[in-house]
Amino acid sequence: MNPRSWLDQLVGGCVSVLFGAAALYLAVRLIQAVWVTALSLLGVIGLVAVAVLVVRSRRQNW
């Protein structure tokens, strides 16, 4: 029934901050690794979508 000591709370907080910083670091590294591919893929999908819209609009006018 002892409440945790302030040292235990401090260590727990520091470990939480450490894990949070490590997770943020890994997330940034992952984004750096795939951002060029992801943007390229989104660009191609966008161009295809625009092409489909242009073709559909031209066919409906005929």
Q: Residue 14 is inside which H or E element, if any?
A: helix 6-61
Q: What is the pLDDT of residue 59?
A: 87
Cβ-based neighbours of 12, under 8 Å, separated by 6 or more: 4
DSSP single-letter state for residue 4: P
Predicted confidence at residue 6, as pLDDT, reads 85
- Sequence-distant contacts of 3-8: CB under 8 A, at least 24 apart: none
pLDDT score for 61? 67
pLDDT in tens, 3-52: 678 889 999 999 999 999 999 999 999 999 999 999 999 999 999 999 99
Who wins on pLDDT, 23 or 57? 23
d(CA 5, CA 2): 8
* pLDDT (0 to 100) of residue 35: 92
